[in-house]
């Protein structure tokens, strides 16, 4: 079981994603605001953050930039989500340390598979 911070400002989507993640055995906290998401990530121990690129007050990319500047990117797995199919944005997210990027819309099965892949121990 992983502790996941889900940052998504679309209420119905965040509820659906959180429900699926909880059914998969994860503990999930939901945040709809980028600045509050950053505070939560800096103050608490999460195994993973699922960050929408477009959040109010601070984007998912800005959150990654701040975590990287603080040296916290190695402490939490990052999965970015966005409705934008922008290759430059994708490259920037991955360069900042995000481990994956899903374009909306995506299925619950794709989300769970990607979360499980990221959280699975990697062979040395």
pLDDT reported for residue 27? 98
Q: Model confidence at 50, in pLDDT bands (50, 70, 90)?
A: very high
Higher pLDDT, 92 or 116: 116
pLDDT at 87: 83
pLDDT above 70: residue 124: no
**pLDDT per residue as tens digits for the range 52-70:** 999 999 999 999 999 988 8
Model pTM score:
0.94
Residue 55 has, within 13 A of its CA and on its CB side, a CA count of 28
pLDDT at residue 123, as a whole number: 65
Q: What is the pLDDT of residue 69?
A: 85
Sequence ranges of the domains in the chain? 3-118
Instruction: Assign 107 a pLDDT band (cuts: 50, 70, 90).
Output: very high
Contact 7, 63 (CB under 8 A): yes
User: Which helix (DSSP H) or strand (DSSP E) does residue 21 occupy?
Assistant: helix 11-23
Handedness of CA 8, 12, 18, 20 (dihedral sign): negative
Residues 6 or more apart in contact with residue 95 via CB below 8 angstroms: none
Domain 3-118 fold: Rossmann fold (3.40.50)
Q: Picking from 21-35, 52-66, 67-81, which range would have the lowest pLDDT averaged per residue?
A: 67-81
Report pLDDT for 71: 74
């Amino acid at each position: 079981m992983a502790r996941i911070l889900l940052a998504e400002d679309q209420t119905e989507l965040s509820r659906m994603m959180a429900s699926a993640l909880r059914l998969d055995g994860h503990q999930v906290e939901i945040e709809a605001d980028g600045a509050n998401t950053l505070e939560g990530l800096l103050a608490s121990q999460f195994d993973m953050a699922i960050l929408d690129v477009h959040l109010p007050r601070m984007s998912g990319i800005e959150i990654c930039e701040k975590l990287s500047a603080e040296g916290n990117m190695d402490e939490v797995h990052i999965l970015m989500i966005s409705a934008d199919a922008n290759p430059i944005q994708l490259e920037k997210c991955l360069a900042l340390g995000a481990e994956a990027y899903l374009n909306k819309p995506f299925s619950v099965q794709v989300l769970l598979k990607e979360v499980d892949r990221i959280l699975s121990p990697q062979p040395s």
